[in-house]
Chain A
């Protein structure tokens, strides 16, 4: 029996969306594998939400195509949306509805009935007890609305979650709880596609990222590779004054400061050449700071602003 490879969770090919003269998304192309947590980054107005809305067939692309788990987002939109749980970035609720009314309504729009046990479990994880769900939505705080939106996205137990700024408005404890939930979903084989501004969050949660800049994909990389691209701060302290200057270092090494008893360098790549250059010197301490993803991403963002 022939083995067929599982289709990517999301496949985007040459996707372009124009609003009059403005090109919001231009020739976007990337894939998200099944079972991964993918971070979709970009500055405000970069085209993240436009891309997400095209995946859900809320916006129609001018050219290109997008597919979710093998189903074309435009031609086969109903199938796609049956497989997706979506957390919108912003939404206004009817204030006179209760949280439960909203969940029941959206639950009834699902193809499969929503499991009450699963919803209850999610309620506990997201700290949204029955008492809160019985309140009118006009009484909800921003964080509670966000939790309710998360709950509705998750309650159908979909294989793909598309989350637009999922931690926006959540307190730190709830953010932790959400990260745990996302890790659990990943372990269960679900795919998460999330847009975010919070780089530390992306670094912690995502395995791969795509960075969109002015509607175009500027970077597609695993978080691990990004770490390799990032430069580490290395501080070497000597027990005695050292007259020698660092020498024979590769060009990826940036010497920030040289004092008689301390060197401060920014290093990309292996530390071997630095260790070699320290041979015979009275090294007291070597402090290597973890590379920060933010440093790389901010560089990409800055190129955006340049």
Chain B
């Protein structure tokens, strides 16, 4: 346990600067979004923006478009904006592929030549993933809360903030899910770059499939295999998503990835 903790602290120290910087960035972005949402609300812009959307696009995108073009949609944009999602999933993949990097550099030869069970390498990474995801989403949630309660009238802030814990929970489950997939890949890989690239390509493919499936019905059955299918943020904002079921599905994928990582890493040649 003591040795496992030492390994965790070593990795946490290495990741800390990046995670803290990103946490500050996403928290700041959320405050900025609350400010932008308030400005648009004051100018009564949301209705005009919605009116500008062509009919065919409105038909394709359905009610989610109206959700996006609302105070709540803009204030919570950070939870589903593609840049933020890509950054968070990217960081998760980078953290989860640490065992492959340590195998590649033979740093694990040094570490595992000591009386440390192999499973600690995977346990350490899972703990690190959990800690980083909690820190990032905690910062994001804090940024949203500060932005809303500081800049927005209390009633509107309360109504908007009500959806944030559910968004955070599902986003956390999505990130953990990609962490599990990346860790499963990394536990069999000899190169971190390969593990990261494979998982990133898979994530991009899954994201694109989910996005295209939203506007092209034939792809919808395939999209159910994409983890992004279970993070429908706009439905979460309107409260029409099955939060618990989706979070559980994502958590199950994460757990399967972690289990696979334990199995393959403990059996493999390093």
Neighbouring B residues of A78 by C-beta, 8 Å: 115-117
- Which of A1-9, A29-37, A105-113 lines the interface with chain B? A105-113
Question: Are A56 and B112 also in contact (CB < 8 A) when A78-B117, A91-B105, A91-B107 are?
Answer: yes
| Contact A91–B106 (Cβ < 8 Å) | yes
Which of A81-89, A166-174, A202-210, A272-280 contacts its partner? A81-89
Are B111 and A106 interface neighbours, CB within 8 A? yes
Write out the residue numbers on chain B whose beta carbons fall within 8 Å of the beta carbon of A109.
3, 6-7, 111, 114-116
Interface residues of A in 70-87 (CB under 8 A from B): 78-79, 81-82, 84, 86
The residues of A that contact B113 with a CB separation of less than 8 Å are: 56, 58, 81, 84, 86, 88
| Complex interface: chain B residues within 8 A of A79 (CB) | 115
Tell me how many residue pairs across A and B have CB atoms closer than 8 Å: 72
Contact A93 B107 (CB under 8 A): yes
Q: Which of B6, B107, B115, B267 counts the most A-chain CB atoms under 10 A from its CB?
A: B115
Partner of A110, one of B110, B114, B270: B114
Identify which of A60, A82, A156 contacts B269 (C-beta below 8 A): A60
**A82 contacts across to B, CB distance below 8 A:** 114-115
Answer whether residue B14 sits at the interface, using C-beta atoms and an 8 A cutoff: yes
CB-based nearest A residue for B117: A78
Asked whether A59 and B269 contact (CB < 8 A) given A78-B115, A84-B113, the answer is yes
Taking CB atoms, residues of chain B closer than 8 Å to A60 are 267, 269
- Chain B contacts for A106, CB-based, 8 A: 110-111, 114
Contacts of A84 in B (CB 8 A): 113
Report the separation of the CA atoms of residues A78 and B269 in the bound assembly, to the nearest whole angstrom.
Answer: 16
**Residue in chain A with minimal CB distance to B114:** A109
Interface centre among B6, B110, B111, B112 (most CB of A within 10 A): B110
Closest residue on chain A to residue B120 by CB atoms: A109
Q: Which chain A residues border B162 with CB–CB below 8 Å?
A: none
If the complex has contacts A56-B112, A81-B114, A94-B14, are A105 and B106 also in contact, measured as CB distance less than 8 A? no
A88-131 CB contact bits vs B (8 Å, 1 = yes)?
Answer: 10111110100000000110111100000000000000000000
Interface residue? A152 (CB, 8 A) = yes
Q: Is the beta-carbon distance between A111 and B269 smaller than 8 angstroms?
A: no
- Residue-wise interface mask of A (237-270) relative to B, using a CB-CB cutoff of 8 A (1 in contact, 0 not): 0000000000000000000000000000000000
Given the complex of chains A and B, what is the CA–CA distance between A58 and B270 in angstroms? 5
Flag whether B109 is at the interface (Cβ < 8 A): yes
State the CA gap A110–B115 with chains docked (Å). Answer: 6
Given A58-B113, A81-B115, A110-B114, A92–B107 Cβ distance below 8 Å?
A: yes
A109 to B5, CA, bound (A): 9
A96 to B6: give the CA distance in the assembly, Å: 17
Which residues of the other chain, B, contact A92 by a CB distance below 8 angstroms? 104-107
Residues of A within 8 A of B48 (CB): none
Contacts of B3 in A (CB 8 A): 108-109
Q: A287 to nearest B CB, angstroms?
A: 48
- Determine whether the beta carbon of A88 is less than 8 Å from that of B106: yes
Most buried by B among A96, A105, A109: A109
Are A88 and B114 within 8 A (Cβ)?
A: no
A53 in contact (CB, < 8 A):
yes
The residue from A58, A96, A108 contacting B112, defined by CB atoms under 8 A apart: A58
Contacts of B2 in A (CB 8 A): 108
CB-based nearest A residue for B110? A91
Chain B minimum-CB-distance residue to A111: B115
Select from chain B the residue with minimum beta-carbon distance to A58: B270
CA distance in complex: A138, B6 (Å): 22
Which residues of chain B from 247 to 270 have any CB-CB distance to chain A below 8 Å in the complex?
267, 269-270
B269 contacts across to A, CB distance below 8 A: 58-60
Judged by a CB distance under 8 angstroms, whether B58 is at the interface is no
Return the contact of A105 from the options B6, B104, B115, B270 (Cβ within 8 A). B6
**Alpha-carbon gap, A90 to B108, bound state (A):** 12
The listed residue with most B CB atoms (<10 A of its CB), out of A58, A92, A111, is A58
Given contacts A53-B109, A81-B115, A108-B6, 16 further A-B contacts (CB under 8 A): A53-B270, A82-B115, A86-B113, A91-B109, A92-B104, A92-B105, A92-B106, A105-B7, A106-B111, A108-B2, A108-B3, A109-B6, A109-B115, A109-B116, A110-B114, A152-B110
Task: List the 6 closest A-B pairs by CB distance, nearest first.
Answer: A92-B105, A109-B114, A86-B113, A108-B6, A82-B115, A58-B270
A sample of 15 cross-chain residue pairs with beta-carbon separation below 8 angstroms, ordered by A number, consists of A57-B112, A58-B112, A58-B113, A60-B267, A91-B109, A92-B104, A93-B105, A105-B6, A105-B10, A106-B110, A108-B2, A108-B3, A110-B115, A111-B115, A152-B110
